[in-house]
Structure 1
Amino acid sequence: MAVGDGPDGVGANAGGDKPSRDRSSIDERYRLVAKATSDVVWDWDLVHDTIVWNEALATSYGWPPAHVGPGSAWWLGNIHPDDRGAVSAGLNALFEGHSDLWSHQYRFLKGGGGYADVLDRGYLVRDASGVPLRMVGAMLDITVRTQLEAQFRAVFEGANIGIVQFDPRSVLALRVNAKLCEIWGAPESEIVGCSLAQWTPAEDAGERDALHRRLATGETLQDSFEKRYRRRDGRLIWARVNLVSQTLGDEVHAMAMIEDITEEKRADARRDALLSLGDRLRELRSNAEVVAMTAEILGRTLATTRAGYGMVDLPAGLVTVAHSWSSDGQVFPSQTLPLDEYPASIASLRRGEVLAVADLASASDLDTDAALYIAQGVRAVISVPLLRRGRLVGVLYATEASPRAWTQNEIDFVRDVAERAWSGLTRIEADEQQRILNRELSHRMKNTLAMVQAIASQSLRNVTDIEAAKHALAARLIALGKAHDILLTGQRESAEMAAVLTSALSLHDDQQPGRFHLSGPDIVIGSKAALSLALMMHELATNAAKYGALSRPDGRVTVAWSVVAADEDDTIHLTWSERGGPLVHPPTRKGFGSRLIERGLAGAVGGEVSLAYEPEGLVCRVMAPLSGFQGNF
């Protein structure tokens, strides 16, 4: 017998010529069961192809008895055309086989129109020889369940987080969505039917196994935690997992919702790294420590192969990498490289551009630079320039041995690290300059106090006129103060010779045209020479105002200096000459002023000072080594 053989849907003589006569008690039980359920219960007499339906066919599906055909043809005719063939094939396989149980899910037409999703299950009765006689079954309306399953399927497949349904006892994946395949970087075929344990890195196996043991006991779980997975390509990622397992009857069901939080973790790590770097930089006291710490934090946070800082010397055309960090702990010696070996990279960095290359093998814009990088085992690089007043002075870099796409967040992080490192280097440089200034100030104060003591002692020795001595001492101290003002205008303890002379003579300049004439090349002199020269000029000008050219309205003073080249050390020749004053007579005795003129500067710079009392005016000549004038700066 086959479904669809006869004009009524079932071939005649399936198992005999007439139905069993002893059915009254069975039929009564059938009617009682049919009344006790809301399912459609049917009884199919396969011999005569008649089907008896209970009242639920009318109440649940809208088919009154008058519109229901007597045999299987009516039933099969109301099955959705797309499902009818499968139902017929299933029934024929049942009749021809040895099983007694049948089940099929299909769409059944309702009396008012539209189809209901049904789950139809039946039991087949055979005679002693195995010929089918009768089949009893129940049709369950699963439309709502099907709709819910469709909604769940839509949510499951379209969710923006990974979802996996699995057997909690074996931890075998039963069903996964596309997002989980994306997160793990694997096709569905490599996940479904396989143990979920394979996606946990070996170093996290202890925590994984402890969780699996709890699941295997059938324990009901509802937990949320963070864990690591190893993708198919070997890359480690972080995920936030919401795990639910529950017991339904004899079965335990489990589902995990997995959200990739790798970038979130990286963002946290970058933020913590910047905070740590800021705290640790405040404790460091040398450029080497700052560079080493910066390279380590940069490399560890980005998980790169290598990181470091290069100091750039543009005039020399060199970059020096004194300290670098390596992921394998390898220590690299200081290395100095010519900038012209990396012309494209340096040109970009000099423009203040960040160099971020995902794969140097395809970086055609870097010309020959890329080949040099690759030869050193570098496939991806990110470099941030450090500029001082528009000039490239340093490069903070990180490299990777394999291609790597740098995210904008990572580029911003390297920029932030570079800014903090530069702040640390600037602070250390400022601290060092302050220490130098403090030492200079201490040294200068000691020298000044010693000089003031000497001036005061000599000015007041054997004086007969206290007022004159007071004025002389005050004038000398003023000249000394002006020399200090000149020294303090620069960052170093030095000054221009012309500035020292102009300042020292300003006390005696009565603004008469041509009173002083200064000429000579630009020479920077040290503090010791500057102070001694200022006092010497002051004494010469004071004597000129009392006895020489500056005591007459037409008197003039010329100060000229030059540098004479020599084999071992160049020599400065300086001459003070007066004209237009009274007739000059050599002094009968020499006071402190004369001694200061003859000995003060000579002792400070290691040269010779001579005074010539020529009738037309005093001439003072100084000859000293240039190195003596420029000492102490």
Structure 2
Amino acid sequence: MGGSEPSAAPGLTMLARGEMADRVRAFDWSATPLGPVHAWSPSLRFAVDMVLTSQLPMALRWGPELVLIYNDAYAPALGERHPDYLGVLFKNTSADFQASTRALYADLLSGASRGFIFEKLPFKLLRSDQPETAWFTVSYSPVPDSTAPHGVGGVLISAVEITQTVQASNELRGVEERYELAREAAGVVGAWEWDVRANKVYADARYAELHSVAPEYAAAGLPVEAYQPAVHPDDRDRIAALAEASVKSGGAFSAEYRLVQADGSVRWIYTRGRSYLDARGKPSRNTGVIIDITERKRVEDALAAARVDIDLAAQAAGMGRWDHNPSKGLRYWDARARAIFGIPQDAPPSTSLFEKVVHPDDLASVRAAVKATLDPGGSGLMNQEYRIIRQNGAVRWVEAFGRAFFENRICVRFVGVVSDVTERREAIDRLLRQEETLRLAVDAAEVGTWDYNLETGDLVWSDRVYDMFGLLDRSEPPALAMVQEPVHPGDAERVREAVARAMDPTIRADYAAEYRVIGRDDHVERWLSAKGKVFFSPTGKPARFVGAAVDITDRKRAELHLRLLVNEMNHRVKNSLATIQAIAAQSFTNSQSLPQAQEAFANRLVALAEAHDLLTRENWEGADLHEIAERLAALHGGADRFTLSGPAVRLSPKTALSLSMALHELATNALKYGALHSPSGRVRIAWDVTTGPGAERLNLTWVERDGPPVKPPGQRGFGSRLIERGLAAELAGSAKIDFHPDGVVCQIDALLEA
């Protein structure tokens, strides 16, 4: 019972495995300020053991000299300095590193700081012998040690990789940029998403303004009833019925309707979207876009009158640590883990308490993942994303990394970390919705998009671009020449200037151009409206050119048609006024009284109006002779007083007007003095077409019968002169009126092409 030998100080536990664990055990620590391992303080041994057993990148700097110890996951961050940096002193690191971190370590070792967290830090790593950039959230935490001067023995460095989050953020930003460009090129002015079950409509600012709703309330979500007052009263029931049917059945929908603005003006809107049902077939959500087509409607109305259109991804907010011993039923959660799960700091940890916060729909998969990890025949690793429900009812997404350690096929330790990834999951969901909305916008407006990497030369575009440039082989890889060569020579210089201004780093103008292309394969001429944006590298060089284009050929044709119709209308109005002037001059002569002249003038204007009405229905492309004769009969006694016979003859506008005036004069005289003056009188109008030298000619005969006896007039009136002289001159032919006692006979010969 005499004095006994003191027991050896414990070294690293058997839980610490891997390359760095072996290197730490083999390292000559007696040559460093830390001294041999058996002399290490319990705090140092525990901290080293925790670092070496962790699957996350972790390192430890210990003592006033800040001696470095790190694990396998941290080694790639050191690059070529690994493994030589094991045991390196702070003073032997680079001058830049010392200058940037000296104050940080001093605050931690002195107890002046409780720790630091730096988010979104880029590191150059070697993975599979290939250099790559990765992003991390790095934390520096003091490690308590009662033997140290200020109670802090060293600094624990831990890192959580957020590369996927950063990449998702960058991808989301690119999608949002392409989405905005496509919306601008397509004329899309607003977008919305309706959560049907919550009756909340989330809309962007332009959609809100068009519906006279405050943008900040629309972004936060309003009931669908808040948007309905802006819908035009005449369209409200129709749109409500369409929305109700779409929500119930799901699927795509589209409609055109009017919105009444705050100033009383009316805007025409085209909307297109899709409704979705949940797994039970119940209405879930409704999303879509709107396009302002007011200008298109105005062009259509003008033609009709002349002829009677983000960074929302989230990143890890930190990590919490947990340590379990399943064989003994021991469990530990640190403060961060408890905060993430919403578990009170004083609540005893237990499996039942943990499972209580796991979302019921995810509990089975979490249990299965834990079971697989604790299986000694498995990998012993866990990486699981799942939902939790905090005590306040908030639903959050978390991601857990864990590793199980076994002795004799019994799990003696299950350690890991957990982080809140709700923002990242929401960012991915928003990205999918943005892409879905972009697809709807592109589909609704038939937009073609492109993305040109100016640094690598890679060019991608949508299938719609093939159609716009007349490219028939869709399997042909995109190339610049395929869209440059088809540009119309008259527009090529203007397009080149617009591209140059967008590429110029001193100008950086948005690319916008309307130009013609001649299809490379189909040789069809089209009008395109293109808009895009060039993105520049940090050195000021153009790096990426993205944009969208839309086919505006129909709009350009409509504008040209409108101009032609206006010019044609001006021409016809002038001609009509000249004709009326001539009729007035001939009607108001001294040969008859004023009442007679007024009646004659009015009747002739009616005849002229009838002829114009007939031609207007035919778009002033001509008129059918049989229809002219039928309308004459209807105006002067009815169809039973006239006999019409002859083949179908299409008359030019000029011939139709002249012949209508002549037949009106004959019918007027027949009503006053001829066959139509008597109830038994009849008129026969017969015609045929003869082929002579040159063009075809029309032969028309007017014959009156069974009327009062006819006597030749003492002098020829305006009607006779209009027929015999004016008609002959207008129609390049002849006209003759014979006053037979049995009835008037008029023979008309006219050139059909006159």
TM-score calculated relative to the size of structure 1: 0.47
Q: Could you tell me the TM-score, scaled by structure 2's length?
A: 0.40
Larger radius of gyration: 1
Higher relative contact order (CA 8 A, sep 6+): 2
